Every structure is written in structure tokens, then in C-alpha cells.
Amino acid sequence: PYFGMSGDEILEKRKQFLGPSVFYYYQKPLNIVEGKMQYLYDEHGKRYLDCFGGIVTVSCGHCHPDIVNAVVEQTKLLQHTTTIYLYQAIVEFAEALASKMPGNLKVVYFVNSGTEANELAMLMARLYSGNLNMIALRNAYHGGSAGTIGLTGLQTWKYPIPQGEIHHVMNPDPYRGTFASDAVAYAKEVKEHINYGTSGKVAGFIAETFQGVGGAVELAPGYLKLVYDTVRKAGGVCIADEVQSGFGRTGSHYWGFQTQDVIPDIVTMAKGIGNGLPLGAVVTTPEIASVLSQKIQFNTFGGNPVCSVGGLAVLRVLDKEKRQAHCADVGSHLVNRLKELQQKHEIIGDVRGRGLMLGVELVTDRKEKTPAKAETAVLFEKLKDLNILVGKGGLHGNVFRIKPPMCFTRDDADFLVDAMDYAMSGL
Ligand code: PMP
């Protein structure tokens, strides 16, 4: 039994004591009191199938015992010290993480969030290249700090402050983009943008291979290879934001960028790396990493013993439980079932993604691709009533984001699709 505050009481206190920009899902927001693998429980003991994993954060599963144990044992021994002293956990974790990276991506900086990771990546890109201009994609989300707000390409999140020397190029979105899946046309536009919109020299380019907040958009195939080449010729470095798409979630590959057959110069990550712990990392080459040694780069909590031990446990669990292969298997089953559902319901305009990084975009008119904003909101509530939590995304809020904890099963996938079918049939 749960003896804490009711959802109504919490909401009242949130309104009183938390900033007004803190938003919530659902007309009557859920009070979640417990989590176990792919399930969440509310104050009344109602169980939900979690298809969003705390915004793609819970990789191994809620309260996975191996991670809980690692964190508890370390907490009893030594909770915190900083990198000004030596301790084993941080180097073990860094070595394990580096072993997951291709090429010469061998040097790790630990931070506490995705925003911090992207701030640091942008700083390194600028220092290393000696240039200021960054290129980012429209429809991207890279963070909410003063610097990363500039990188983010969605007006919903952009406060009107100076946005830095940042240029947003066309989004190579196969469904909504101007050039559909034509990577060559999008890449040409990047080249022209650099030629016309900058000094001809850039600091770097950043992209998520699978846009998360933007609504699970997988970039047109072949795009990153062409653009990386253009950006490097213009003196810039290439950054892959793997905050959502890393750690095997896409099923076919461990990192999202590998689906486009490229090796970035800097990779940023957060969320799933900690299974719920506040943890982020930037991995780059020794050469690029060295630019920060001209001053002191310091982060009090970055790579603290508890998070390092937890992060290492995450990597081990994902390997031990073969989660990448599992995501491929369950994901392909789920995509197939969603595509069948698309045949049945006119409202489904697009089903996309890979592994357990999927999006279902709803439209009122398939030809015009008119966002079914109101209908999405109704279905979203209905799914919750049917014990299913999904995410919502895209500029128009008309995309269901399906990115559950990676322990999600085929049965869970069937339950989700059947519930969507039922909810859509009642529209
Ligand atoms: N990059 C991506 C791709 C993200 O999805 C997010 C968070 N939604 C961030 C960066 C920022 O991460 P954080 O909220 O941990 O700062």
C-alpha cells in the first residue's frame, strides 16, 4: 500500500513550489510511486506498461536489480568524491564505455545530463576548429541551457535569447522533408548553406541520427556520410547526439550513427547510459579532447563513484541480457504489427524507426499529411486509461513515441498494438 501524498496534493504543491514551466502529461497527471522493469505503478496500485521509459531513460528496466545493487553497495562505501582524488570506478567505467566506440573515440568526459554533454561537445568543436558557426538540424533537440537552446531546432523549446552562431539546415525527414529520402539533395543544401550563410568555415555539425523529441524521425539513409564529408572540408567536426538512440536500442547497431556507416569526431550521450541515474558523457579522440587542457574543465559530480558504478552496471546488463539483439527482435515484430494497424486505420500516416526507437505519426489526411493534433491527444488519454504509457512528440504533438525499457517483450508489443487498435476504432 502507498501512504504518500495523493496526486492531487502533489499537483497542488508543484504549482506552489515548482516553476510554472514544469509541464505534465495527461489531463489528470499520474502519480507514479513504483517501477519494476517495463511496468510502472500509480498511487492506486494500477499497473501501466511503460512504452516511454521516462523519456528513453530507462534502458535496462525500472529498478533493475543488478543496477540497484551496484548503486546501493557503492553508496554504502563511498558516495562521492571528486576527480581531484583517484578512485577506481570512474576509470573502469570510462574504459568499458570507450571499448564500445569505433575508431579513435577513446577519451571520455563525464557530465550529469545530455544538455551538459552537448555544451561540452560544442565547446570542444569551437576550440578545436577555431571557428564559431555550428550547423544543426531543424526539428532537433539538444538541450535547454543557454548554449544548447541554440542547437535545438524546435520553437516549442526556444526562449527568445541570443541563439549563438548556429545555423539550422533542412531536416532530412523522409516523411515530411522537402526532398523526401533524397540524402544527396539535403546534403547539397548543407553545402550551399555553408557557402552562403557562413564564412565558409564552421566549428561543427551536430545531429541525432534518430530524432527523439522531434518525433522519432530517422534521417534519410546516406545523409550523414555526405554531410560529414562537407563539414570536415569546411574545417568542422562532426558530433553525434546519442542521448536517445545509443546502447543498442535501434537493434541493428549499438550506436545510432552506425546505421549511417559513419564515425563521428565527438559522441554525446545521457539518459539510457544511467538507467535513471543523472549521468552523461562525451567521447572523442585524444586530439580533440586535448583542446580542453588549455584551461581547467571541471565538473563536480561528473563521473562520481555512484554514477560510474551504476553506468558500468548498465553496460554489463545490456551485454549480459543481449538487449541489442532483443531490441531487433521485438522491434521488428512491433513495426510489422504497427504497419498492419496502419492498413486498418486511416489516421496512421507513418510508422517509422528501428528496434525499440519507434514513432507513429497521426494525420487527418494522408495526402496533405495534416497533423491530427486533437485526435492524438484523445488517443493518448485513452491509451493511459488502457494501462499504456507512450510518449508524444513532433512539432505538432501528433507523433506517438514508443521507446520502452529494452526488456519490453513481444507480448508487451502485442498488448500495445491491440490497445491502439481498440482506441483508434473508438475515435
Ligand atoms: N539530446 C537529446 C537527443 C535529447 O533527447 C535530450 C533530452 N530530451 C537532450 C539532449 C538533453 O538531455 P538532458 O535533458 O539530460 O539535459
Q: How confident is the model at residue 80 (pLDDT cuts 50, 70, 90)?
A: very high
Residue nearest to atom 1 of ligand 1 (CA): 142
Residues 255/220, Cβ–Cβ less than 8 Å: no
| Each residue's pLDDT tens digit, 167-207 | 999 999 999 999 999 999 999 999 999 999 999 999 999 99
- Residue of 401, 368, 381 whose CA lies nearest to 26: 381
Residue 413 has pLDDT above 90, yes or no: yes
Q: Which residues contact 83 (CB under 8 A, 6 or more apart)?
A: 90, 298, 299, 302, 303
Residue 244, C-alpha cell as written in the block:
536517445
Q: Which atom of ligand 1 is nearest to the CA of 115?
A: 16
CA 347/CA 364 separation, integer angstroms? 6
Q: For domain 65-320, give the CATH number.
A: 3.40.640.10
Q: What is the Å distance from ligand 1's center to 279 Cα?
A: 11
User: Grid coordinates 506517438 are at which residue?
Assistant: 400
- Residue of 358, 325, 326, 322 whose CA lies nearest to 339: 358
| Each residue's pLDDT tens digit, 277-297 | 999 999 999 999 999 999 999
Residue 24 has pLDDT above 90, yes or no: no
H or E stretch at 282 = strand 280-284
Q: What is the Å distance from ligand 1's center to 268 Cα?
A: 10
Residue 1 has pLDDT above 90, yes or no: no
ipTM: 0.99
Q: Is the CB of 143 under 6 A from ligand 1?
A: yes
Residue nearest to atom 3 of ligand 1 (CA): 243
The model's pTM: 0.98
Strand partners, 358: 353, 402
Query: 7-60+323-425 belongs to which homologous superfamily?
Result: Aspartate Aminotransferase, domain 1 (3.90.1150.10)
Residue 120 has pLDDT above 90, yes or no: yes
Domain boundaries along the sequence of the chain = 7-60+323-425, 65-320
What is the DSSP track for 142-196?
--SSTTHHHH---GGG--SS---SEEEEPP--TTTSTTTT-HHHHHHHHHHHHHH
